Structure 1
Amino acid sequence: MGRMPAPAIAALLGLTLAACGLPLPWSFLTALPLAALLGYAAAAPTRRSVTARVFWAGFGYFALHLWWLGAFLQQLLGAAPLVIVLFVLEAAFLAVMAAVAVNVARTPTGRIWALAGGWVILEWLRFLGPLAFPWPTLGYTLLTTSAIQIADLGGVLLGSVLVAFTAASLAHAWTGRQQQGRRPLAPAVLAAVAWAAALGYGVTRTPSDGPEQPMRVLRVTFDAFGRASGELTSEEQFSAQTAASLNRPPGSVIVWSEGAISSPGTRPATGQTIPAFPGPGISGIGGYEQLTPPGPDPIRQPATYRQFNTVASLDAGGTIQSMSAKARLVPFGEEFPFRPILGPVYRVIETSLGFTLPSMTPNPNPTPITLNGVLYGAYICYDSVFPWVARALANQGAQVLVNPSNDGWYQGWGVQQHFNMGRVRAIETRRWVVRSVNNGVAGTVNDLGQPVQTVDSGQELQVLDVRPKLLNGTTVYMRLGDWPALILALLMVAYGVRQDRRQATRVAGVTERTGG
């Protein structure tokens, strides 16, 4: 029987890594397959083969972790295979990182550390730019342990550092034994100490106390594709949500999901009244605003529109008190980058859909919305996977985080992945998270990232009366952001360079003694 090809082995290691990274009880074991992956890639005979192994591992990793996007594309465009483009793109980013790492460190042990540090740095880079998509981040795998509480010190990326450092330590120990006949234990011992410190820190965290704010959240089950295609009218959704919002506990604030209020033609403004809205409450408001009217020949000079996606606070009479627009847009969903290059591709898709793909304008400076003297850090759907959004709102005084969302686009474990990432925003800022959603997980998460009241299934509209606590205070992560994690990632790369130099010195010493 022939030996398995290197790309197949690498892809299998990537699949195993993804399996440990899914929202399952054993996700904390992620460092083990990552160690095997780092060791296998670093041991490749040439720089090009290191890069190739990382590419194929990345392809397997993203293919399993994000398989549900294929189901989404099938339902939207009837073209599930298009998701392979995303897998290739994300794997290519990992390969580029590996290409840099093998030029920084050239021995197997040096490469292990350069790849581990580079992996974390690449995760940080995936938070940035028009193609930002930070979905599979290693730090989220710590959610099944108390170690995730270190997120208030350095964000989810500090968790990624712990996972990557542990993996590199294990791979280093194995590689050192293979090369030198002995097992270097110092990094592994340090990793064990780091785990003990993280777990100890986590178990000592206790929920904070503060005044309660009664709220009612909804989990609705409207067909997102039907709403987008016009098969489901906004009036039907509004009426159903209004009925579910009545007869609330005294002082309760209603929370509706993303886009629950439709405002066609014009962008809503502060002071505008939404008739029949059962305030006081918070709701997503979406639609299209007309930028230019049609010309004399409407066929050749049609009106132009721009999509908007906002969240607003409304008083008891339905009057908008404050608003904030979505901060991070979904690539190729709410914004379509590189139009000069990808214009022909977009036109093919637009022809298939029968309408123009409109790009939204992101909000680079999200601010809290106010209602009855309370500051709410409201951010919309995809914003919840970007730590800087919740961090910015908490730094401006938000007392509770509110996440109107729409998970109707997702399939399979994509729904649970999205919810779990939002749980870490609660830890990073030590704020409660309140979530109202279409076809996802609705409810509350406390400041330890623990679900308190949630509902995640059912075919009928469901309601939860929740009592999140209004909290203040500042965490280390709110002050320093991702810098602690980035510095530690760079130190891993530097340690890899040091391993190279030690190896070179050792070889030179042996050569001198033997007269070679």
Structure 2
Amino acid sequence: MGAMPAPAIAALLGLTLAACGLPLPWSFLSALPLAALLGYAAAAPTRRAVTARVFWGGFGYFALHLWWLGAFLQQLLGAAPLVVILFALEAAFLAVMAAIAVNVARTPAGRIWALAGGWVILEWLRFLGPLAFPWPTLGYTLLPTPAIQIADLGGVLLGSVLVAFTAASLAHAWTNRHSPNRQQQGRRPLAPAVLAAVAWAAALGYGVTRTPGDGPEQPMRVLRVTFDAFGRASGQLTPEEQFAAQTAASVNRPPGSVIVWSEGAISSPGTRPAPGQTIPAFPGPGISGIGGDEALTPPGPDPIRQPGTYREFNTVASLSVGGTIQSMSAKARLVPFGEEFPFRPILGPVYRVIETSLGFTLPRMTPNPNPTPLTLNGVLYGAYICYDSVFPWVARTLANGGAQVLVNPSNDGWYQGWGVQQHFSMGRVRAIETRRWVVRSVNNGVAGTVNDLGQPVQTVDSGQELQALDVRPKLLTGTTTYMRLGDWPALMLAALMVAYGVRQDRRRNDRLN
């Protein structure tokens, strides 16, 4: 039997890394398969082979991590195989990073560090631009351990640094120990591994000493509904039916309780609501997602041949007892190819073909680059919608704006399999980064509360009927290091890993000379 081809080995290592990246108790072991992948890629005989191994490792990594998107595309378009394009695209980004890394560092030991630092920098880049999709981020694998508490120092990316540094240290030690040329070894090949052990001890020590913050409690009622997201989009479920069901579940609340409804729970077709406008029969005070479209131009005399133009919106609002809107904020990050279709000037003809085949117009939404907290009865609520929860800067901006508690109206009805739990897990880290409680009301997902240590307090994640949960999150203030500095500490450490890889090359050249 012949040896397994290099692409298959790399893909298998990527699959193993993805298995550790799922919301499972052993996810903190992710540094081990990452070390194997970094070492295997760095040991390739040519720079092109290094890039190829990273591509196939990334393909396996994203394929397992995001397999549930295939089920989503099957329901939406009847085209599950299209998800392979996403796997290849994300793997291609890793390959480009690897192509740069192998030109920065030429030796296997140097490449390991350049790839590890580049991996973290690439994760940061996934937060940016029209194709932003930061779903699989290494730092989330620390959630089963107290080490995740370092997120209040440098965000989830600081966790990624710890994982990548540990992986690079292990791969570095293995590469030096098994190098056929003893001249390529450093004088202290185990020093990075010792430093990684110290870093883990410090992170765990920091984590176990964190205690929950104390503040006044705000009674709230959250809902977990089970409406068919695809049925709502296709008109099989009317907005009136959803509104009536949620209203029935919102009455008879504890005194002073604020109701929270999910993303798009209120439909406002044809016009974008504004502060001062009243939503009749809304059981306020409360917070709710409001979605719909606003007419930019009216239809002509023949609406079929001269349709008007519309722009969809996805907002969240605070409403008083009488249903009057007090404040509003729009969604900050739109879902690529779901709510936002990038590069329209270039891909316009492709989008028009899709619109013709589907029989409806693709959304045209505008993101909100400056989300602000909602005000309701003297409390500041940092409300962000669904996909916003995977972007740390959104919650950070709201907390810096004075938000005392984070509120995440969401619709997880689009997700399948472990995509739902992944989404919830990422939201838990937003609580740690800002040291704020997170309150979640959701369609077909996990509803409830998470405290400022990222620990679920009261949650409900299953059941076929509409469920209501009375929670009492604490209103907290204060500023974390991450709120002040953002991702800069993590990025600087990632850059230092790349610099260490370059230094490995120079040391080797000095020894050979």
Give TM class, smaller chain: over 0.9
Cα distance change of structure 1 residues 28 and 280 upon mapping to structure 2, 3 Å threshold: same
Work out whether 1:106 is the aligned partner of 2:101.
Answer: no
The answer (yes or no) to whether the contact 1:433–1:445 under 8 Å persists in 2 is yes
The answer (yes or no) to whether the contact 1:51–1:96 under 8 Å persists in 2 is yes
Moved more, 174-183 or 402-411: 174-183
- Give the CA deviation at 1:344: 3.0
The answer (yes or no) to whether the contact 1:431–1:446 under 8 Å persists in 2 is yes
Determine the C-alpha separation between the residues in 2 that align with 1:314 and 1:98. 50
- Give the CA deviation at 1:358: 1.7
Per-residue CA distance 1:332-369 (angstroms, 9 max, x = gap): 00010012222233223212321010220000000000
The answer (yes or no) to whether the contact 1:294–1:303 under 8 Å persists in 2 is yes
1:408 counterpart SS class:
helix
Determine the C-alpha separation between the residues in 2 that align with 1:224 and 1:273. 26
Cα distance change of structure 1 residues 486 and 513 upon mapping to structure 2, 3 Å threshold: closer
Determine the C-alpha separation between the residues in 2 that align with 1:444 and 1:177. 55
- Equivalenced residue count is 507
- Give the CA deviation at 1:67: 0.2
Counterpart for residue 46 of structure 1: 46
Cα distance change of structure 1 residues 34 and 183 upon mapping to structure 2, 3 Å threshold: farther
Per-residue CA distance 1:219-258 (angstroms, 9 max, x = gap): 0000000000000000000000000000000000000000
The answer (yes or no) to whether the contact 1:432–1:470 under 8 Å persists in 2 is yes
Determine the C-alpha separation between the residues in 2 that align with 1:181 and 1:240. 68
Determine the C-alpha separation between the residues in 2 that align with 1:513 and 1:402. 57
Cα distance change of structure 1 residues 177 and 449 upon mapping to structure 2, 3 Å threshold: farther
- Give the CA deviation at 1:299: 3.2
The answer (yes or no) to whether the contact 1:324–1:368 under 8 Å persists in 2 is yes
2:459 counterpart SS class:
strand
TM-score scaled to structure 1, two decimals?
Answer: 0.96
Cα distance change of structure 1 residues 70 and 282 upon mapping to structure 2, 3 Å threshold: same
Determine the C-alpha separation between the residues in 1 that align with 2:357 and 2:391. 32
The answer (yes or no) to whether the contact 1:105–1:496 under 8 Å persists in 2 is yes
- Give the CA deviation at 1:34: 0.2
The answer (yes or no) to whether the contact 2:327–2:374 under 8 Å persists in 1 is yes
The answer (yes or no) to whether the contact 1:72–1:411 under 8 Å persists in 2 is yes
- Give the CA deviation at 1:179: 5.7
Determine the C-alpha separation between the residues in 2 that align with 1:364 and 1:96. 28
Q: Which ranges of structure 1 fall in alignment gaps of 5 or more residues?
A: 503-510
Cα distance change of structure 1 residues 476 and 512 upon mapping to structure 2, 3 Å threshold: closer
- Give the CA deviation at 1:183: 7.4
Determine the C-alpha separation between the residues in 1 that align with 2:262 and 2:391. 19
Determine the C-alpha separation between the residues in 2 that align with 1:304 and 1:177. 70
Cα distance change of structure 1 residues 278 and 499 upon mapping to structure 2, 3 Å threshold: same
The answer (yes or no) to whether the contact 2:217–2:472 under 8 Å persists in 1 is yes
2:413 counterpart SS class:
coil
TM-score scaled to structure 2, two decimals?
Answer: 0.97
The answer (yes or no) to whether the contact 1:21–1:141 under 8 Å persists in 2 is yes
Cα distance change of structure 1 residues 281 and 5 upon mapping to structure 2, 3 Å threshold: same
RMSD of aligned residue pairs (Cα, Å)? 1.6
Per-residue CA distance 1:475-503 (angstroms, 9 max, x = gap): 0000000000000000000000000000x
1:28 counterpart SS class:
helix
The answer (yes or no) to whether the contact 2:437–2:450 under 8 Å persists in 1 is yes
Determine the C-alpha separation between the residues in 1 that align with 2:320 and 2:453. 30
The answer (yes or no) to whether the contact 2:11–2:58 under 8 Å persists in 1 is yes
Cα distance change of structure 1 residues 189 and 246 upon mapping to structure 2, 3 Å threshold: same
- Give the CA deviation at 1:512: 11
Determine the C-alpha separation between the residues in 2 that align with 1:513 and 1:383. 50
Equivalent of 1:422 in 427, 431, 439: 427
Alignment of 1:33-432 (within 5 A): 33-175=33-175, 180=185, 184-432=189-437
Determine the C-alpha separation between the residues in 2 that align with 1:289 and 1:396. 28
Q: Which ranges of structure 2 fall in alignment gaps of 5 or more residues?
A: 176-180
Determine the C-alpha separation between the residues in 2 that align with 1:51 and 1:345. 30
The answer (yes or no) to whether the contact 2:183–2:511 under 8 Å persists in 1 is no
- Give the CA deviation at 1:80: 0.1
The answer (yes or no) to whether the contact 1:177–1:184 under 8 Å persists in 2 is no
Cα distance change of structure 1 residues 27 and 248 upon mapping to structure 2, 3 Å threshold: same
1:251 counterpart SS class:
coil
The answer (yes or no) to whether the contact 2:289–2:315 under 8 Å persists in 1 is yes
The answer (yes or no) to whether the contact 1:267–1:287 under 8 Å persists in 2 is yes
The answer (yes or no) to whether the contact 1:431–1:471 under 8 Å persists in 2 is yes
Determine the C-alpha separation between the residues in 2 that align with 1:466 and 1:446. 11
Per-residue CA distance 1:353-398 (angstroms, 9 max, x = gap): 2101022000000000000000000000000000000000000100
The answer (yes or no) to whether the contact 1:173–1:183 under 8 Å persists in 2 is no
Cα distance change of structure 1 residues 16 and 512 upon mapping to structure 2, 3 Å threshold: closer
Cα distance change of structure 1 residues 450 and 177 upon mapping to structure 2, 3 Å threshold: farther
Determine the C-alpha separation between the residues in 1 that align with 2:425 and 2:269. 33
- Give the CA deviation at 1:104: 0.5
Per-residue CA distance 1:62-116 (angstroms, 9 max, x = gap): 0000000000000000000000110010000000000000000000000000000
Cα distance change of structure 1 residues 467 and 373 upon mapping to structure 2, 3 Å threshold: same
The answer (yes or no) to whether the contact 1:400–1:471 under 8 Å persists in 2 is yes
Determine the C-alpha separation between the residues in 2 that align with 1:187 and 1:405. 42
Per-residue CA distance 1:187-241 (angstroms, 9 max, x = gap): 0000000000000000000001000000000000000000000000000000000
Per-residue CA distance 1:397-428 (angstroms, 9 max, x = gap): 00000000000000000000000000000000
Determine the C-alpha separation between the residues in 2 that align with 1:298 and 1:426. 48
Moved more, 311-320 or 349-358: 349-358
Determine the C-alpha separation between the residues in 2 that align with 1:423 and 1:351. 40
Cα distance change of structure 1 residues 181 and 401 upon mapping to structure 2, 3 Å threshold: closer
The answer (yes or no) to whether the contact 1:174–1:183 under 8 Å persists in 2 is no
Determine the C-alpha separation between the residues in 1 that align with 2:36 and 2:184. 16
Per-residue CA distance 1:14-42 (angstroms, 9 max, x = gap): 00000011000000000000000000000
The answer (yes or no) to whether the contact 1:275–1:318 under 8 Å persists in 2 is yes
Cα distance change of structure 1 residues 453 and 325 upon mapping to structure 2, 3 Å threshold: same
Determine the C-alpha separation between the residues in 2 that align with 1:191 and 1:299. 65
